[in-house]
Chains A and B, each alone.
Chain A
Amino acid sequence: MSGAKIRFENVEKRFALRAGEHVALGGVSFDVGAGEFFVIVGPSGCGKTTLLRIAAGLDAPTSGRVTIAHGSADRPGNAVVFQGESIFPWMTVRENAAYGLKMRGAPQRHTDEVVAHYLDATGLRKFADAYPHQLSGGMKQRVSIARAFACDPEVLLMDEPFSALDEQNRTLLQQELLRIWDETHKTVVFITHSVDEAVTLGDRIMVMSADRGRPKAFVDVPFARPRSVLDLRATPEYGRLFHDIWSQLRDEIPLAGTLRQAHGDAVAG
Protein backbone atom coordinates (compact mmCIF):
# COMPACT_ATOMS: atom_id res chain seq x y z
CA MET A 1 0.00 0.00 0.00
CA SER A 2 1.69 3.15 -1.18
CA GLY A 3 0.13 6.04 0.73
CA ALA A 4 -3.48 7.19 0.81
CA LYS A 5 -5.40 6.87 -2.43
CA ILE A 6 -8.52 8.41 -1.03
CA ARG A 7 -8.56 10.58 2.06
CA PHE A 8 -11.62 11.57 4.08
CA GLU A 9 -10.86 14.63 6.19
CA ASN A 10 -13.36 15.76 8.82
CA VAL A 11 -16.26 15.08 6.51
CA GLU A 12 -19.39 16.57 7.96
CA LYS A 13 -22.90 16.51 6.55
CA ARG A 14 -25.88 18.18 8.15
CA PHE A 15 -29.42 18.18 6.82
CA ALA A 16 -31.91 20.85 7.74
CA LEU A 17 -35.12 19.16 8.80
CA ARG A 18 -38.39 20.69 9.93
CA ALA A 19 -37.79 19.26 13.37
CA GLY A 20 -34.31 20.78 13.52
CA GLU A 21 -30.95 19.75 12.22
CA HIS A 22 -29.88 16.21 11.50
CA VAL A 23 -26.17 15.42 11.62
CA ALA A 24 -25.65 12.53 9.21
CA LEU A 25 -21.87 12.64 9.34
CA GLY A 26 -20.02 14.37 12.15
CA GLY A 27 -16.41 14.87 11.13
CA VAL A 28 -15.46 11.53 9.66
CA SER A 29 -11.76 10.97 8.86
CA PHE A 30 -9.91 7.96 7.47
CA ASP A 31 -7.62 6.95 4.61
CA VAL A 32 -7.91 4.22 2.04
CA GLY A 33 -4.65 2.92 0.59
CA ALA A 34 -3.89 2.52 -3.10
CA GLY A 35 -5.03 -0.85 -4.39
CA GLU A 36 -6.97 -1.56 -1.23
CA PHE A 37 -10.38 -3.22 -1.25
CA PHE A 38 -11.94 -1.20 1.54
CA VAL A 39 -15.34 -2.17 2.88
CA ILE A 40 -17.55 0.02 5.02
CA VAL A 41 -20.12 -1.95 6.96
CA GLY A 42 -22.75 -0.24 9.00
CA PRO A 43 -26.40 -0.34 10.01
CA SER A 44 -29.08 1.18 7.81
CA GLY A 45 -29.24 4.94 8.09
CA CYS A 46 -25.72 5.36 9.52
CA GLY A 47 -24.77 7.67 6.67
CA LYS A 48 -22.66 5.32 4.58
CA THR A 49 -24.43 6.14 1.34
CA THR A 50 -24.12 9.85 2.13
CA LEU A 51 -20.40 9.37 2.66
CA LEU A 52 -20.06 7.56 -0.66
CA ARG A 53 -22.06 10.20 -2.53
CA ILE A 54 -19.74 12.86 -1.14
CA ALA A 55 -16.71 10.85 -2.23
CA ALA A 56 -18.30 10.54 -5.69
CA GLY A 57 -18.82 14.29 -5.90
CA LEU A 58 -22.60 13.84 -6.18
CA ASP A 59 -23.25 15.62 -2.88
CA ALA A 60 -21.22 18.38 -1.23
CA PRO A 61 -20.14 17.98 2.39
CA THR A 62 -21.23 20.67 4.84
CA SER A 63 -17.57 20.90 5.81
CA GLY A 64 -14.41 18.85 5.41
CA ARG A 65 -13.30 17.23 2.20
CA VAL A 66 -12.56 14.06 0.30
CA THR A 67 -9.47 13.95 -1.90
CA ILE A 68 -8.61 11.30 -4.42
CA ALA A 69 -4.96 11.04 -5.46
CA HIS A 70 -4.90 11.47 -9.21
CA GLY A 71 -2.36 9.47 -11.18
CA SER A 72 -3.25 10.39 -14.72
CA ALA A 73 -5.26 13.30 -16.07
CA ASP A 74 -7.21 11.20 -18.57
CA ARG A 75 -8.59 8.83 -15.94
CA PRO A 76 -11.72 9.82 -14.04
CA GLY A 77 -11.31 10.19 -10.30
CA ASN A 78 -14.07 7.75 -9.48
CA ALA A 79 -16.87 5.66 -10.90
CA VAL A 80 -19.86 4.50 -8.91
CA VAL A 81 -21.68 1.17 -9.03
CA PHE A 82 -25.03 2.32 -7.73
CA GLN A 83 -27.47 0.53 -5.52
CA GLY A 84 -30.55 -0.59 -7.45
CA GLU A 85 -31.25 -0.06 -11.11
CA SER A 86 -28.96 2.51 -12.62
CA ILE A 87 -28.33 1.37 -16.17
CA PHE A 88 -30.18 3.33 -18.83
CA PRO A 89 -33.24 1.44 -20.11
CA TRP A 90 -32.97 3.25 -23.47
CA MET A 91 -29.49 1.96 -24.23
CA THR A 92 -28.29 -1.51 -25.10
CA VAL A 93 -25.97 -3.39 -22.75
CA ARG A 94 -23.00 -2.39 -24.92
CA GLU A 95 -23.99 1.30 -25.01
CA ASN A 96 -24.47 1.29 -21.25
CA ALA A 97 -21.08 -0.26 -20.63
CA ALA A 98 -19.46 2.25 -23.00
CA TYR A 99 -21.15 5.26 -21.41
CA GLY A 100 -18.29 6.50 -19.24
CA LEU A 101 -15.76 6.19 -22.05
CA LYS A 102 -18.11 7.94 -24.50
CA MET A 103 -18.69 10.86 -22.17
CA ARG A 104 -14.96 11.31 -21.78
CA GLY A 105 -14.50 11.28 -25.55
CA ALA A 106 -12.35 8.16 -25.68
CA PRO A 107 -11.42 6.97 -29.19
CA GLN A 108 -13.99 4.58 -30.66
CA ARG A 109 -11.56 1.71 -31.15
CA HIS A 110 -10.27 1.89 -27.60
CA THR A 111 -13.86 2.03 -26.31
CA ASP A 112 -14.87 -1.02 -28.36
CA GLU A 113 -11.92 -3.05 -27.10
CA VAL A 114 -12.31 -2.17 -23.45
CA VAL A 115 -16.08 -2.66 -23.49
CA ALA A 116 -15.71 -6.03 -25.22
CA HIS A 117 -13.22 -7.08 -22.56
CA TYR A 118 -15.49 -6.22 -19.65
CA LEU A 119 -18.58 -7.67 -21.31
CA ASP A 120 -16.62 -10.90 -21.61
CA ALA A 121 -15.43 -10.65 -18.02
CA THR A 122 -18.97 -10.21 -16.74
CA GLY A 123 -20.42 -12.89 -19.01
CA LEU A 124 -22.51 -10.38 -20.93
CA ARG A 125 -21.04 -10.87 -24.39
CA LYS A 126 -24.11 -12.70 -25.69
CA PHE A 127 -26.35 -9.92 -24.40
CA ALA A 128 -24.38 -6.99 -25.78
CA ASP A 129 -27.23 -5.82 -28.00
CA ALA A 130 -30.03 -6.58 -25.55
CA TYR A 131 -31.92 -3.87 -23.71
CA PRO A 132 -32.03 -3.80 -19.89
CA HIS A 133 -35.69 -4.83 -19.66
CA GLN A 134 -34.68 -8.16 -21.16
CA LEU A 135 -32.16 -8.79 -18.36
CA SER A 136 -32.49 -10.17 -14.83
CA GLY A 137 -31.51 -8.09 -11.81
CA GLY A 138 -28.13 -9.81 -11.54
CA MET A 139 -27.35 -9.16 -15.20
CA LYS A 140 -28.23 -5.49 -14.81
CA GLN A 141 -25.77 -5.16 -11.94
CA ARG A 142 -23.14 -6.88 -14.09
CA VAL A 143 -23.67 -4.17 -16.70
CA SER A 144 -23.27 -1.54 -14.01
CA ILE A 145 -20.01 -3.16 -12.88
CA ALA A 146 -18.73 -3.40 -16.45
CA ARG A 147 -19.57 0.29 -16.99
CA ALA A 148 -17.63 1.34 -13.89
CA PHE A 149 -14.56 -0.82 -14.62
CA ALA A 150 -14.52 0.14 -18.32
CA CYS A 151 -13.80 3.80 -17.66
CA ASP A 152 -10.78 2.84 -15.55
CA PRO A 153 -11.32 5.22 -12.61
CA GLU A 154 -8.75 5.95 -9.91
CA VAL A 155 -11.21 4.69 -7.32
CA LEU A 156 -14.22 2.44 -7.66
CA LEU A 157 -17.11 3.33 -5.36
CA MET A 158 -19.67 0.61 -4.80
CA ASP A 159 -22.88 1.40 -2.95
CA GLU A 160 -24.49 -1.85 -1.80
CA PRO A 161 -24.47 -3.07 -5.38
CA PHE A 162 -25.77 -6.55 -4.58
CA SER A 163 -28.31 -5.73 -1.89
CA ALA A 164 -31.30 -6.14 -4.20
CA LEU A 165 -30.22 -9.59 -5.42
CA ASP A 166 -31.20 -12.98 -4.09
CA GLU A 167 -28.64 -14.96 -2.09
CA GLN A 168 -27.47 -17.18 -4.95
CA ASN A 169 -27.00 -14.35 -7.39
CA ARG A 170 -25.27 -12.29 -4.73
CA THR A 171 -22.72 -15.04 -4.07
CA LEU A 172 -22.12 -15.46 -7.81
CA LEU A 173 -21.60 -11.75 -8.34
CA GLN A 174 -19.27 -11.48 -5.35
CA GLN A 175 -17.11 -14.19 -6.88
CA GLU A 176 -17.17 -12.48 -10.28
CA LEU A 177 -16.32 -9.14 -8.76
CA LEU A 178 -13.34 -10.69 -6.96
CA ARG A 179 -12.14 -12.25 -10.22
CA ILE A 180 -12.39 -8.98 -12.18
CA TRP A 181 -10.83 -7.06 -9.34
CA ASP A 182 -7.87 -9.45 -9.25
CA GLU A 183 -7.02 -8.32 -12.82
CA THR A 184 -6.65 -4.69 -11.85
CA HIS A 185 -6.37 -4.38 -8.06
CA LYS A 186 -8.09 -1.06 -8.34
CA THR A 187 -8.76 0.90 -5.16
CA VAL A 188 -12.31 0.09 -4.07
CA VAL A 189 -14.58 1.60 -1.45
CA PHE A 190 -17.43 -0.85 -1.04
CA ILE A 191 -20.46 -0.17 1.12
CA THR A 192 -22.63 -2.91 2.54
CA HIS A 193 -24.79 -3.78 5.50
CA SER A 194 -23.88 -7.46 5.14
CA VAL A 195 -21.08 -8.69 7.41
CA ASP A 196 -20.76 -11.77 5.21
CA GLU A 197 -20.13 -9.64 2.17
CA ALA A 198 -17.64 -7.43 3.98
CA VAL A 199 -15.52 -10.37 5.15
CA THR A 200 -15.71 -12.08 1.78
CA LEU A 201 -14.59 -9.12 -0.29
CA GLY A 202 -12.53 -6.76 1.81
CA ASP A 203 -8.87 -6.26 2.62
CA ARG A 204 -9.88 -3.98 5.45
CA ILE A 205 -13.26 -3.35 6.99
CA MET A 206 -14.46 -0.23 8.69
CA VAL A 207 -17.37 -0.68 11.07
CA MET A 208 -19.37 2.51 10.91
CA SER A 209 -21.16 3.81 13.95
CA ALA A 210 -24.81 4.75 13.81
CA ASP A 211 -23.79 7.84 15.78
CA ARG A 212 -22.95 10.45 13.12
CA GLY A 213 -21.19 7.90 10.96
CA ARG A 214 -18.08 7.75 13.14
CA PRO A 215 -15.64 4.94 12.31
CA LYS A 216 -16.01 2.51 15.19
CA ALA A 217 -13.42 -0.10 14.34
CA PHE A 218 -11.04 -1.08 11.56
CA VAL A 219 -10.58 -4.79 10.95
CA ASP A 220 -7.91 -6.32 8.72
CA VAL A 221 -8.98 -9.32 6.71
CA PRO A 222 -6.03 -11.70 6.43
CA PHE A 223 -7.29 -13.93 3.60
CA ALA A 224 -4.96 -14.39 0.65
CA ARG A 225 -5.99 -13.57 -2.89
CA PRO A 226 -7.31 -14.78 -5.24
CA ARG A 227 -10.14 -15.85 -3.01
CA SER A 228 -12.82 -18.41 -3.49
CA VAL A 229 -16.05 -17.28 -1.86
CA LEU A 230 -17.08 -20.83 -1.01
CA ASP A 231 -13.77 -22.08 0.40
CA LEU A 232 -13.39 -18.89 2.39
CA ARG A 233 -16.67 -19.40 4.15
CA ALA A 234 -15.66 -22.90 5.22
CA THR A 235 -12.63 -21.66 7.23
CA PRO A 236 -12.66 -21.04 11.00
CA GLU A 237 -11.05 -17.59 10.57
CA TYR A 238 -14.05 -16.57 8.51
CA GLY A 239 -16.35 -17.49 11.36
CA ARG A 240 -14.17 -15.66 13.87
CA LEU A 241 -14.05 -12.49 11.77
CA PHE A 242 -17.77 -12.65 11.17
CA HIS A 243 -18.30 -12.95 14.91
CA ASP A 244 -15.94 -10.05 15.73
CA ILE A 245 -17.50 -7.66 13.28
CA TRP A 246 -21.02 -8.66 14.10
CA SER A 247 -20.36 -8.00 17.80
CA GLN A 248 -19.04 -4.54 16.94
CA LEU A 249 -22.04 -3.88 14.77
CA ARG A 250 -24.72 -5.24 17.06
CA ASP A 251 -24.58 -2.27 19.42
CA GLU A 252 -24.99 0.07 16.45
CA ILE A 253 -28.35 -1.28 15.41
CA PRO A 254 -30.84 0.85 17.33
CA LEU A 255 -33.60 -1.74 17.39
CA ALA A 256 -31.27 -4.51 18.56
CA GLY A 257 -30.10 -2.29 21.42
CA THR A 258 -33.62 -1.61 22.66
CA LEU A 259 -34.56 -5.25 22.36
CA ARG A 260 -31.60 -6.33 24.45
CA GLN A 261 -32.41 -3.73 27.02
CA ALA A 262 -36.02 -4.85 27.09
CA HIS A 263 -34.90 -8.41 27.54
CA GLY A 264 -32.56 -7.43 30.37
CA ASP A 265 -35.36 -5.52 32.07
CA ALA A 266 -37.63 -8.52 31.79
CA VAL A 267 -34.99 -10.75 33.36
CA ALA A 268 -34.29 -8.20 36.10
CA GLY A 269 -38.00 -7.81 36.79
Chain B
Amino acid sequence: MSAEASRDRILSVASPIALFVLWEIAARSHWIDTRFFPAPSSIAVTFGELIRNGTLLSNTLVTLERLAIGIVVGGVPALLIGLAMGLYRPIYAIVDPLISATYPIPKSAILPLILLVFGLGEASKIAMVAIGMFYPVVINTAAGVRQIQPIYFDVGRNFGARGWAVFRTIAFPGALPVIMTGVKLGAGLGLILIAIAEMVGAQSGLGFMLWNAWQVLQVNVMYAGLITIAVIGFVLTVLLNELERFLIPARTRR
Protein backbone atom coordinates (compact mmCIF):
# COMPACT_ATOMS: atom_id res chain seq x y z
CA MET B 1 0.00 0.00 0.00
CA SER B 2 2.72 2.46 0.98
CA ALA B 3 4.79 1.31 -2.00
CA GLU B 4 1.83 2.20 -4.19
CA ALA B 5 1.43 5.54 -2.45
CA SER B 6 5.06 6.54 -2.97
CA ARG B 7 4.86 5.37 -6.58
CA ASP B 8 1.80 7.59 -7.09
CA ARG B 9 3.62 10.53 -5.56
CA ILE B 10 6.62 10.06 -7.86
CA LEU B 11 4.31 9.82 -10.85
CA SER B 12 2.45 13.02 -9.99
CA VAL B 13 5.73 14.93 -9.58
CA ALA B 14 7.17 13.40 -12.71
CA SER B 15 4.27 14.17 -15.04
CA PRO B 16 4.57 18.00 -15.06
CA ILE B 17 8.35 17.76 -15.31
CA ALA B 18 8.00 15.43 -18.25
CA LEU B 19 5.61 17.87 -19.90
CA PHE B 20 8.09 20.74 -19.52
CA VAL B 21 10.95 18.65 -20.90
CA LEU B 22 8.83 17.56 -23.82
CA TRP B 23 7.75 21.16 -24.44
CA GLU B 24 11.36 22.38 -24.30
CA ILE B 25 12.50 19.72 -26.79
CA ALA B 26 9.55 20.34 -29.08
CA ALA B 27 10.19 24.09 -29.06
CA ARG B 28 13.91 23.81 -29.69
CA SER B 29 13.48 21.42 -32.57
CA HIS B 30 10.62 23.61 -33.93
CA TRP B 31 8.03 20.85 -33.88
CA ILE B 32 5.68 23.41 -32.37
CA ASP B 33 5.27 27.07 -33.34
CA THR B 34 7.47 29.02 -30.92
CA ARG B 35 5.53 32.21 -31.63
CA PHE B 36 2.67 30.69 -29.63
CA PHE B 37 4.53 28.19 -27.48
CA PRO B 38 7.98 29.57 -26.69
CA ALA B 39 10.41 27.23 -24.93
CA PRO B 40 10.04 27.14 -21.13
CA SER B 41 13.69 28.19 -20.80
CA SER B 42 13.06 31.39 -22.79
CA ILE B 43 9.96 32.12 -20.70
CA ALA B 44 12.13 31.75 -17.61
CA VAL B 45 14.61 34.27 -19.02
CA THR B 46 11.81 36.77 -19.69
CA PHE B 47 10.43 36.10 -16.22
CA GLY B 48 13.84 37.00 -14.76
CA GLU B 49 13.99 40.22 -16.79
CA LEU B 50 10.49 41.25 -15.70
CA ILE B 51 11.43 40.69 -12.10
CA ARG B 52 14.68 42.66 -12.45
CA ASN B 53 13.16 45.70 -14.15
CA GLY B 54 10.31 45.79 -11.62
CA THR B 55 7.46 45.46 -14.13
CA LEU B 56 6.21 42.19 -12.76
CA LEU B 57 6.34 43.26 -9.14
CA SER B 58 4.58 46.59 -9.67
CA ASN B 59 1.79 45.02 -11.75
CA THR B 60 1.40 42.17 -9.27
CA LEU B 61 1.14 44.56 -6.35
CA VAL B 62 -1.51 46.65 -8.11
CA THR B 63 -3.56 43.54 -8.84
CA LEU B 64 -3.17 42.20 -5.31
CA GLU B 65 -4.25 45.52 -3.83
CA ARG B 66 -7.40 45.62 -5.97
CA LEU B 67 -8.08 42.00 -5.12
CA ALA B 68 -7.67 42.55 -1.39
CA ILE B 69 -9.83 45.68 -1.27
CA GLY B 70 -12.48 44.07 -3.46
CA ILE B 71 -12.60 40.97 -1.27
CA VAL B 72 -13.22 43.12 1.82
CA VAL B 73 -15.67 45.49 0.09
CA GLY B 74 -17.69 42.56 -1.26
CA GLY B 75 -17.18 40.08 1.55
CA VAL B 76 -18.08 42.10 4.64
CA PRO B 77 -21.54 43.27 3.49
CA ALA B 78 -22.17 39.78 2.09
CA LEU B 79 -21.41 38.28 5.48
CA LEU B 80 -23.67 40.70 7.36
CA ILE B 81 -26.54 40.43 4.88
CA GLY B 82 -26.17 36.64 4.80
CA LEU B 83 -26.31 36.41 8.60
CA ALA B 84 -29.37 38.65 8.72
CA MET B 85 -31.04 36.57 5.97
CA GLY B 86 -30.29 33.37 7.84
CA LEU B 87 -31.62 34.67 11.14
CA TYR B 88 -34.68 36.67 10.11
CA ARG B 89 -37.20 35.11 7.79
CA PRO B 90 -38.69 38.43 6.54
CA ILE B 91 -35.23 39.64 5.51
CA TYR B 92 -34.68 36.36 3.70
CA ALA B 93 -38.03 36.75 1.95
CA ILE B 94 -37.10 40.27 0.84
CA VAL B 95 -33.49 39.73 -0.22
CA ASP B 96 -33.49 36.18 -1.59
CA PRO B 97 -35.45 36.92 -4.79
CA LEU B 98 -33.13 39.83 -5.57
CA ILE B 99 -30.10 37.59 -5.21
CA SER B 100 -31.65 34.69 -7.10
CA ALA B 101 -32.60 37.00 -9.97
CA THR B 102 -29.19 38.65 -10.34
CA TYR B 103 -26.96 35.67 -9.50
CA PRO B 104 -27.25 33.91 -12.89
CA ILE B 105 -25.96 36.96 -14.78
CA PRO B 106 -22.38 36.12 -15.79
CA LYS B 107 -20.26 38.48 -13.71
CA SER B 108 -17.99 39.28 -16.67
CA ALA B 109 -21.03 40.51 -18.62
CA ILE B 110 -21.57 43.27 -16.08
CA LEU B 111 -18.15 44.80 -16.80
CA PRO B 112 -19.40 47.38 -19.37
CA LEU B 113 -22.07 48.53 -16.94
CA ILE B 114 -19.53 48.71 -14.13
CA LEU B 115 -17.18 50.75 -16.31
CA LEU B 116 -20.06 53.08 -17.14
CA VAL B 117 -20.99 53.57 -13.50
CA PHE B 118 -17.58 53.56 -11.85
CA GLY B 119 -15.41 54.88 -14.69
CA LEU B 120 -12.00 53.67 -15.80
CA GLY B 121 -10.27 54.17 -12.46
CA GLU B 122 -9.69 51.92 -9.49
CA ALA B 123 -13.32 51.82 -8.42
CA SER B 124 -14.49 49.74 -11.37
CA LYS B 125 -11.77 47.09 -10.78
CA ILE B 126 -12.59 46.88 -7.10
CA ALA B 127 -16.30 46.69 -7.88
CA MET B 128 -15.75 43.69 -10.14
CA VAL B 129 -13.86 41.77 -7.45
CA ALA B 130 -16.47 42.79 -4.88
CA ILE B 131 -19.28 41.44 -7.05
CA GLY B 132 -17.43 38.17 -7.53
CA MET B 133 -16.92 37.89 -3.78
CA PHE B 134 -20.40 39.03 -2.78
CA TYR B 135 -22.58 36.31 -4.29
CA PRO B 136 -20.91 33.13 -3.05
CA VAL B 137 -20.42 34.62 0.41
CA VAL B 138 -23.97 35.93 0.85
CA ILE B 139 -25.54 32.73 -0.49
CA ASN B 140 -23.34 30.44 1.60
CA THR B 141 -23.70 32.53 4.75
CA ALA B 142 -27.50 32.52 4.56
CA ALA B 143 -27.54 28.78 3.81
CA GLY B 144 -25.00 28.14 6.56
CA VAL B 145 -27.08 29.90 9.18
CA ARG B 146 -30.28 28.19 8.07
CA GLN B 147 -28.76 24.72 8.43
CA ILE B 148 -27.87 25.33 12.09
CA GLN B 149 -29.97 23.07 14.33
CA PRO B 150 -32.83 25.10 15.90
CA ILE B 151 -31.92 23.73 19.33
CA TYR B 152 -28.76 25.89 19.37
CA PHE B 153 -30.88 29.03 19.04
CA ASP B 154 -33.10 27.72 21.86
CA VAL B 155 -29.99 27.32 23.99
CA GLY B 156 -28.92 30.86 23.12
CA ARG B 157 -32.30 32.29 24.11
CA ASN B 158 -32.51 30.23 27.27
CA PHE B 159 -29.07 31.31 28.44
CA GLY B 160 -29.68 34.97 27.71
CA ALA B 161 -28.03 35.58 24.31
CA ARG B 162 -29.68 38.58 22.63
CA GLY B 163 -29.08 40.49 19.39
CA TRP B 164 -25.42 40.72 18.49
CA ALA B 165 -24.48 37.89 20.90
CA VAL B 166 -26.67 35.52 18.85
CA PHE B 167 -24.72 36.48 15.69
CA ARG B 168 -21.37 36.18 17.40
CA THR B 169 -21.81 33.02 19.46
CA ILE B 170 -24.25 30.96 17.37
CA ALA B 171 -25.02 32.12 13.82
CA PHE B 172 -21.47 33.00 12.77
CA PRO B 173 -19.54 30.09 14.30
CA GLY B 174 -22.31 27.65 13.41
CA ALA B 175 -22.28 28.73 9.78
CA LEU B 176 -18.52 29.24 9.53
CA PRO B 177 -17.62 26.00 7.71
CA VAL B 178 -20.17 26.82 5.01
CA ILE B 179 -19.16 30.50 4.98
CA MET B 180 -15.51 29.57 4.40
CA THR B 181 -16.50 27.54 1.35
CA GLY B 182 -18.21 30.67 0.03
CA VAL B 183 -15.17 32.82 0.79
CA LYS B 184 -12.91 30.44 -1.14
CA LEU B 185 -15.27 30.41 -4.11
CA GLY B 186 -15.64 34.19 -3.98
CA ALA B 187 -11.90 34.86 -3.79
CA GLY B 188 -11.32 32.56 -6.78
CA LEU B 189 -14.04 34.32 -8.74
CA GLY B 190 -12.55 37.67 -7.70
CA LEU B 191 -9.20 36.67 -9.19
CA ILE B 192 -10.84 35.70 -12.48
CA LEU B 193 -12.77 38.96 -12.62
CA ILE B 194 -9.83 41.21 -11.74
CA ALA B 195 -7.82 39.71 -14.62
CA ILE B 196 -10.71 40.41 -17.02
CA ALA B 197 -11.36 43.89 -15.63
CA GLU B 198 -7.71 44.88 -15.97
CA MET B 199 -7.67 43.86 -19.62
CA VAL B 200 -10.25 46.50 -20.43
CA GLY B 201 -9.41 50.08 -19.76
CA ALA B 202 -6.61 49.65 -17.25
CA GLN B 203 -3.06 50.90 -17.41
CA SER B 204 -1.64 48.64 -14.75
CA GLY B 205 -2.04 45.21 -13.20
CA LEU B 206 -1.42 41.67 -14.38
CA GLY B 207 -4.52 41.67 -16.58
CA PHE B 208 -3.23 44.81 -18.31
CA MET B 209 0.20 43.20 -18.67
CA LEU B 210 -1.33 40.14 -20.31
CA TRP B 211 -3.49 42.18 -22.66
CA ASN B 212 -0.63 44.49 -23.58
CA ALA B 213 1.63 41.50 -24.26
CA TRP B 214 -0.94 40.26 -26.76
CA GLN B 215 -1.21 43.62 -28.45
CA VAL B 216 2.57 43.93 -28.95
CA LEU B 217 2.97 40.17 -29.45
CA GLN B 218 5.33 39.59 -26.53
CA VAL B 219 4.26 36.01 -25.99
CA ASN B 220 6.92 35.36 -23.33
CA VAL B 221 5.55 38.20 -21.22
CA MET B 222 2.08 36.75 -21.57
CA TYR B 223 3.26 33.43 -20.19
CA ALA B 224 5.07 35.16 -17.34
CA GLY B 225 1.81 36.90 -16.44
CA LEU B 226 -0.17 33.69 -16.63
CA ILE B 227 2.29 31.91 -14.34
CA THR B 228 2.13 34.79 -11.86
CA ILE B 229 -1.67 34.69 -11.76
CA ALA B 230 -1.58 30.94 -11.31
CA VAL B 231 0.81 31.36 -8.37
CA ILE B 232 -1.48 34.01 -6.83
CA GLY B 233 -4.42 31.65 -7.16
CA PHE B 234 -2.45 28.85 -5.55
CA VAL B 235 -1.18 30.99 -2.66
CA LEU B 236 -4.69 32.39 -2.11
CA THR B 237 -6.07 28.85 -1.78
CA VAL B 238 -3.34 27.84 0.65
CA LEU B 239 -3.85 30.97 2.76
CA LEU B 240 -7.61 30.51 2.92
CA ASN B 241 -7.20 26.85 3.85
CA GLU B 242 -4.88 27.87 6.66
CA LEU B 243 -7.35 30.55 7.78
CA GLU B 244 -10.06 27.89 7.83
CA ARG B 245 -7.92 25.58 9.96
CA PHE B 246 -7.23 28.44 12.34
CA LEU B 247 -10.87 29.55 12.60
CA ILE B 248 -12.47 26.11 12.78
CA PRO B 249 -10.28 24.05 15.09
CA ALA B 250 -13.01 21.51 15.79
CA ARG B 251 -13.33 20.68 12.15
CA THR B 252 -9.67 20.01 11.46
CA ARG B 253 -9.55 17.32 14.13
CA ARG B 254 -12.59 15.56 12.80
Contact = CB atoms under 8 A, between A and B. Distances in A.
B169 A99 contact: yes
Given A90-B250, A134-B253, A147 B159 contact: yes
A80 B154 CA distance: 9
Contacts of B158: 56-58, 78-80
Nearest to A104: B160
A249 B109 CA distance: 69
Contacts of A103: 156, 159-161, 165, 169
Interface in A143-168: 147, 151
A133 interface: yes
A175 B153 CA distance: 30
**For the side of the interface on B, what is the size category?**
20 to 34
A87 B170 CA distance: 11
B172 to A, nearest CB: 9
Interface residues of A, number: 26
B174 interface: yes
A134 B250 CA distance: 9
Nearest to A99: B159
A126 to B, nearest CB: 17
A86 B155 contact: yes
A37 interface: no
A56 B154 CA distance: 10
Interface string A59-93: 00000000000000000101110101111111100
Contacts of B174: 88, 90
16 contacts: A58-B157, A58-B158, A76-B159, A82-B154, A86-B155, A88-B169, A88-B174, A89-B250, A90-B174, A90-B250, A91-B173, A100-B159, A103-B159, A104-B160, A131-B250, A151-B159
